[in-house]
């Protein structure tokens, strides 16, 4: 065996002996160990959908591919015929090369095999085959032939664009099980990045872990990994280029290590760790019906974050006392021109309310933008054409207020659902008084429209997400306007420290223990409690056991997290005596910073961990 040890996110070469292994390092974002065969989602300059299709849809999907090939051939032939007489001969020759590549069996024929054997949709299959062929071109010694890779990429890009505008596309089949055609081997996902819309397709599949080239600890990819409760490593730079389809891969989500083609000794060690983790999970599930009460009798509410109506069942099973955050934007993903209307949204919200059996449900208005674009706004457009920094652009409440008709439509749907149970409305990314006024104006207009149409709605509490430093600093104004507040710590950290949380290049600067971040969190909790307003934390900090004692000491009594994290946080709460946290606040980890009260009346200051 040859072990190739690499610095973080890079590599020193590939061992071509298939009995040799390779290691890569990235950022650990979801704990545990995953072992399986690699399934690659190849990167492309064109954003494409990735989903599995039903066996009965294979022939139809291949027909789509061949129709796209014929359409591109006709397009290239037309360009060639329309060349002016004085056009350079090289232009016609270049079009000949593109036509030759287009009709080569190594492209469309092999792509059809991906559809047949793996049940990939046509776009995914084409991207996967491009990755295979691109590697062949890279290995060519002849400079001229090696440079033809760019021609191949251009041909594939044309095909993808035709496929993306094909109205006969097979709808994503979330229920398809990849194991039906992958055998008994477990599967792990390897990609440059995984879009939130793609994660919806992979959510209920058999992937036991995933690796991405890009991303940080609180990028959306990382959050989804934790929500799925599967091991993941992000920011591994070249992983999707180095790992090949069907390679055996070990993902160490604790250390941020990815091992390709591990030896039998390494495999056995990691399988033992897998068994230990599973035993710990089983032990924690016994706490699901135990009330979350500290040793000194402080009752704590543990709510669930969910993304789709079907997630409500998992929230109840985990022992959640309600839904603290329903990310409604996921209803809008994987949709193009057919966005969910008022009635469809109303039915989705009612499904959650009914499933929670009388427990409260907090619905956040759409947080579209940044790393969660609508299909009708391509990620490329949002990231490169319309916004230099999408995290600071038209997203969340800014987007909703810019689309007043759609915003009122969603508000009406939420209001109607409130007639069936306890529904609370949560508004993301507020920072300006004008946004507060705009939100309540839209809400008043929605109520008026429902009243005029004779449709029932309940009394809905309205809350604000505190995720922009400006909101935390003017918290008293927010508490004047809103019934409750919820701290979105992921964005609060990002904006306080001026760090793109999805960028692995600055991931080491993303620091939830930063004194400024903790002071803003403590300030918000303290102000809300003083005013008698409900306050919760729904960001990743809520589901991190190392922060549980700190947040309890700040006075927090309401946490919201993914259902898979509830048991671990409950265990931490059951072991805590809040009376002992007033003088010295320690995180659960031995290397966590120490916090002591500030003299100004209840804030916190950080003492960095010792080296």
pLDDT per position as a tens digit, 48-91: 778 888 889 999 999 999 999 999 999 888 888 877 776 667 67
Identify the weakest region by mean pLDDT among 171-175, 344-348, 400-404.
Answer: 171-175
The verdict on 253 and 392 lying in the same domain is no
Is 327 labelled a binding residue?
A: yes
The verdict on 357 and 428 lying in the same domain is yes
> Is residue 450 within 8 Å of residue 457, measured between CB atoms?
yes
The mean pLDDT value for 12-27 works out to 65
Q: Which two tokens stand for residue 583?
A: 């003088």
The verdict on 342 and 488 lying in the same domain is yes
* Cα–Cα dist 33/28, whole Å: 11
Is 364 labelled a binding residue?
A: yes
Phi-psi bin for 251: left (phi > 0), alpha (psi -120 to 50), beta? beta
What pLDDT is attached to residue 225?
A: 77
Strand pairing class (248-252; 232-234):
unpaired
Report if pTM > 0.95.
no
Last residue of a domain, one of 116, 135, 164: 164
The verdict on 397 and 433 lying in the same domain is yes
Is 491 labelled a binding residue?
A: yes
The mean pLDDT value for 121-145 works out to 84
Residue 603 reports pLDDT greater than 60: no
The verdict on 471 and 488 lying in the same domain is yes
The verdict on 298 and 378 lying in the same domain is yes
The verdict on 595 and 473 lying in the same domain is yes
Total count of domains within the chain: 3
Q: Which residues are catalytic?
A: 220, 538
Is 226 labelled a binding residue?
A: no
Exposed, middle or buried: residue 428 (CB in 10 Å: 0-12, 13-18, 19+)?
A: buried
* Cα–Cα dist 486/218, whole Å: 18
Q: Of all helices (H) and strands (E), which one includes residue 447?
A: helix 433-453
What is the separation of C-alpha 198 from the centre of its chain, rounded to a whole number of angstroms? 9
Where helices occur in 238-341 by DSSP H, the ranges are: 239-242, 264-285, 312-317
Exposed, middle or buried: residue 314 (CB in 10 Å: 0-12, 13-18, 19+)?
A: middle
| 313 located within any domain | yes
Is 575 labelled a binding residue?
A: no
In DSSP terms, 39 is beta-bridged to: 189
Is 301 labelled a binding residue?
A: no
> Is residue 509 within 8 Å of residue 589, measured between CB atoms?
no
Residue 216 domain boundaries: 3-45+179-282
Last residue of a domain, one of 228, 263, 282: 282
pLDDT per position as a tens digit, 537-564: 999 999 999 999 999 999 999 999 999 8
pLDDT per position as a tens digit, 285-295: 899 889 999 99
In DSSP terms, 420 is beta-bridged to: none
Residue 602 reports pLDDT greater than 70: no
What pLDDT is attached to residue 228?
A: 73
Residue 326 reports pLDDT greater than 90: yes
* Cα–Cα dist 608/592, whole Å: 8
What pLDDT is attached to residue 513?
A: 93
Residue 167 reports pLDDT greater than 70: no
pLDDT per position as a tens digit, 379-418: 434 444 445 677 788 899 999 999 999 999 999 999 999 9
Q: How many helices (H) and strands (E) does the chain have?
A: 23, 20
Q: Chain-wide mean pLDDT for the chain? A: 83
pLDDT per position as a tens digit, 184-231: 788 899 988 876 666 666 665 678 898 998 888 777 777 777 777 789
What pLDDT is attached to residue 177?
A: 56
pLDDT per position as a tens digit, 148-163: 777 888 888 889 888 8
The verdict on 193 and 268 lying in the same domain is yes
Last residue of a domain, one of 264, 282, 300: 282
Q: For residue 282, which phi and psi values (nearest 5 degrees)?
A: -60, -40
Q: What is the CATH number of the domain that holds 254?
A: 3.50.30.10
The verdict on 349 and 218 lying in the same domain is no
């Amino acid at each position: 065996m040859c072990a190739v040890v690499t610095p973080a996110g890079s590599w020193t070469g590939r061992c071509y002996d298939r009995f040799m292994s390779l290691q890569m390092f990235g950022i650990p974002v979801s704990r545990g160990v995953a072992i399986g065969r690699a399934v690659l989602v190849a990167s492309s300059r064109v954003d494409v959908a990735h989903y599995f299709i039903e066996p009965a849809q294979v022939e139809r999907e291949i027909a789509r591919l061949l129709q796209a090939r014929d359409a591109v051939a006709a397009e290239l032939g037309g360009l060639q015929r329309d060349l002016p007489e004085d056009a350079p001969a090289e232009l016609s020759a270049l079009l000949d090369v593109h036509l030759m590549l287009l009709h080569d069996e190594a492209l469309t024929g092999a792509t059809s095999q991906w559809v047949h054997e793996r049940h990939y949709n046509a776009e995914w299959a084409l991207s996967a085959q491009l990755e295979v062929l691109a590697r062949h071109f890279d290995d060519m010694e002849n400079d001229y032939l090696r440079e033809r890779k760019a021609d191949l990429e251009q041909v594939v890009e044309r095909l993808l664009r035709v496929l993306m505008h094909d109205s006969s596309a097979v709808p994503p089949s979330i229920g398809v099980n990849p194991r039906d055609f992958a055998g008994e081997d477990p599967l792990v996902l390897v990609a440059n990045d995984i879009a939130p819309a793609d994660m919806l397709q992979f959510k209920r599949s058999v992937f036991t872990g995933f690796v991405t080239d890009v991303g940080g600890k609180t990028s959306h990819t990382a959050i989804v990994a934790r929500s799925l409760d599967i091991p993941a490593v992000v920011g591994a730079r070249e992983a999707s280029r180095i790992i090949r389809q069907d390679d055996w891969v070990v993902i160490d989500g604790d250390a941020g290590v990815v091992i390709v083609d591990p030896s039998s000794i390494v495999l056995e060690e990691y399988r033992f760790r897998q068994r230990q983790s599973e035993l710990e999970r089983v032990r924690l599930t016994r706490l699901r019906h135990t009330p979350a009460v500290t040793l000194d009798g402080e009752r704590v509410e543990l709510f669930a974050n969910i993304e789709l109506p079907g997630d409500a069942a998992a929230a109840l099973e985990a022992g959640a006392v309600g839904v603290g955050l329903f990310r409604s934007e996921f209803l809008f993903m994987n949709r193009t021109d057919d966005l969910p209307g008022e009635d469809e949204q109303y039915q989705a919200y009612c499904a959650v309310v009914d499933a929670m059996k009388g427990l409260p449900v907090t619905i956040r208005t759409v947080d579209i933008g940044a790393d969660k674009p609508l299909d009708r706004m391509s990620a490329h457009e949002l990231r490169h054409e319309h916004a230099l920094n999408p995290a600071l652009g038209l997203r969340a409440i800014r987007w909703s207020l810019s689309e007043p008709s759609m915003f009122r439509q969603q508000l009406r749907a939420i209001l109607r659902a409130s007639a069936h149970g306890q529904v609370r409305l949560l508004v993301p990314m507020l920072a300006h008084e004008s946004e507060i006024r705009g939100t309540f104006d839209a809400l008043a207009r929605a109520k008026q429209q429902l009243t005029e149409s004779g449709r029932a709605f309940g009394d809905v509490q309205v809350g604000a997400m505190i995720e922009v430093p400006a909101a935390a600093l003017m918290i008293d104004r927010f508490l004047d306007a809103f019934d409750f507040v919820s701290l979105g710590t992921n964005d609060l950290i990002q904006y306080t420290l001026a760090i793109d949380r999805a960028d692995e290049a600055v991931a080491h600067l993303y620091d939830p223990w930063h004194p400024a971040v903790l002071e803003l969190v403590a300030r918000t909790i303290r102000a809300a409690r003083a005013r008698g307003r409900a306050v919760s934390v729904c960001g990743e900090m809520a589901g991190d056991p190392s922060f549980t004692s700190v947040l309890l000491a700040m006075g927090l009594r309401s946490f919201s997290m993914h259902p898979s994290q509830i048991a671990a946080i409950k265990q931490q709460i059951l072991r805590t005596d809040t009376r002992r946290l007033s003088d010295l606040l320690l995180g659960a980890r031995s290397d966590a910073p120490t916090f002591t009260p500030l003299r100004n009346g209840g804030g916190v200051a950080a003492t960095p961990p010792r080296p």
